[in-house]
Amino acid sequence: MPDCEETLRELDSFLDDELSEAGHDAIRQHLGGCPDCLGAFDFHAELKQVIAEKCQRDEMPSGLLSRLEQCLESEGLPSAAPVDDRTV
């Protein structure tokens, strides 16, 4: 089972489902027995949720994409792939 330091280091990967099944299970087991790490987990999970909610509906300002493409072209860089959804 991971110690607190390793658990805290892996919290973001745990929340993003980027760990192996064994790694995920080990972190989950540690969180079940460690109130300090569980508190940190709760904070990270809530922060991630708030950020996702606040950023989900931001609309791209009119003309921003074309200005970005012009900047890329002036620097000799390829422009971005077509964007269908104009939310960020």
pLDDT at 84 over 60: no
CA–CA gap between residue 39 and residue 14 (Å, rounded): 14
Question: pLDDT tens for residues 29-45?
Answer: 999 999 999 999 999 99
Quickly tell me which residue has 């607190």 as its tokens.
4
Structural domain of 60:
4-74
Question: pLDDT tens for residues 35-81?
Answer: 999 999 999 999 999 988 887 766 778 889 889 888 888 887 766 55
pLDDT at 88 over 50: no
Structural domain contains residue 86 = no
Q: How many domains, in total, are found in the chain?
A: 1
At 21 the pLDDT is 96
Structural domain contains residue 21 = yes
87 forms beta bridges with 59
CATH number of the CATH domain containing 44: 1.10.10
* pTM for the whole structure: 0.60
Structural domain contains residue 40 = yes
Structural domain contains residue 41 = yes
